[in-house]
Amino acid sequence: MKINPNVFRNYDIRGVVDKDLDAEKVEAIGKGYGTFLRRRKIRHAVVGCDCRLTSPAYKTAMIKGLRSVGINIIDLGMIMTQMMYYAQYRYQTNGGVMITASHNPANYNGMKLAIGYSQTTGPEEVREIKKIIDEENYFQSDKEGGCEEKNVTKDYQEDVLKRIVLKKKFKVVVDSGCGTTGMYIPKIFKKAGCEVIGKNIKVDGSFPVGTPDPTAKKVVDRVAKIVLKRKADLGIAFDGDGDRIGLVDEKGDILWNDVLVAIFAKEILERFPSSKIIYNTLCSQIVREVIRKNGGIPIMWKTGHSFIKAKVAEENAAFGGELSGHFFFADNAYGHDDGTYASLRIMEYLGEKNQTLSQLYESFPKYISSPEIKIGCPDEKKAGVIADLSIKFKKDFPDVEITDKSVIPDDDGIRADFSDGMMIFRYSQNGPYITIKFEAKDQAKYDERKKYVRNLLKTYPEMIWEDELCVNLESLD
């Protein structure tokens, strides 16, 4: 089976619908992943999907492929990604598939593939699955796997709520962006004792209000307006499959998720002093400073939910988080990214401290910080752009602290840490685009770094400045 090799990314499988992926190709991926499982003597898997228009058909094709190599399936229906992870524990299976393209535009789809409880594929596993498919070297089963449907909603909800106690009734704005979370989050928050103000909670896989990406300023800006109008305690935007969030405080100010990483780190370190905290290379210097100030051990690692999740487990860290809004709690949860739990966890901490969200981080170091900026760049060219850019970058800043693949093995970008902020360029692992972030202590230096970033990127004709994958480009104006 010939499949565009670019869909096999470093941890997920992701591509354009009807171009890179269709039902036949997804079935082949199911056979390849099923063979991968059978080689490890795994015979069972849970399978779920998000609300994208092609997801139900892709789920059917994936199940067909898995069953053909003898994998027994539990079909979870339309769920959030964290519910697939939870179902692995509930039904005791190492195998698991979530059909989703997360925060990508509506014409994308893909899948996350489990390699154990709460763990998903990394580069080596993805390459192995691709090789199986390329060679059509599928496991020959003398019996087709079975399939049964299970509704994990009630069990998942009860499991989350037993871990959280809210000391006050929060008024919270929930914006699902018409994604899958509209089916679940408002009900769970209400059961937790919240007053919920729903926005875009009607599920529509065509995403009529735009891509559900909680790192996009236009998404959290619309949440902020409702927070102010309704005098809510906080506002939360979710991505399409529910494992990531974006946050707005009671004043309508946006908290980029590296600030939330710092908040969670502080909360963890109050109870577990000297703990290791994992964060990704895109995070502000705020994170490192807050961790150190509160007696923790900061460990910066490469970007990607699979990489951070694995690093949390490897280091026996208490917590890990990413700028993108993936948070991994290893103290009172399973260690995988769960936007439901992360949202309730911040409300629980606010209740314990009897503070507003803005009060919770007012003592943190202050930086003027860009959001996560995404600019289109073809898959076959993005790594080369970053490699060339890195040479210029090191020449322009010879005396700063540099983090790249010489520091973090197989890192996908280059980061410079100045005495008053940071700057990073990296290529995405799950889409044809490049990601940038920069910050400074004062406006003049921030504007200088913004100009540097814009002018440098404009020298590369490979960059696509008008693309459906572009996010927060206005931050370079």
Distances, alpha carbon 412 to alpha carbons 130, 252, 406, 407, in Å = 21, 34, 11, 11
Angle at 74 between CA 73 and CA 75, to 5 degrees: 105
C-alpha 249/C-alpha 234 separation (Å) is 5
* Contact by Cβ (8 Å): 410, 123: yes
Residues 6+ apart with CB under 8 A from 238: 174, 175, 176, 177, 179, 181, 185, 212, 214, 244, 245, 246, 339
| 426's tokens | 């990296």
Amino acid identity at 201 = I
Residues 6+ apart with CB under 8 A from 208: 178
Q: Could you confirm whether 369 is annotated as catalytic?
A: no
C-alpha 7/C-alpha 73 separation (Å) is 24
| 165's tokens | 């106690």
Catalytic residue (one of 55, 68, 102, 275): 102
Distances, alpha carbon 64 to alpha carbons 57, 372, 416, in Å = 11, 38, 47
| 342's tokens | 């992360």
C-alpha 330/C-alpha 341 separation (Å) is 12
Pairing between β-strand 245-248 and β-strand 234-238 as defined by DSSP bridges: antiparallel
C-alpha 126/C-alpha 112 separation (Å) is 10
- The catalytic residue positions are 102
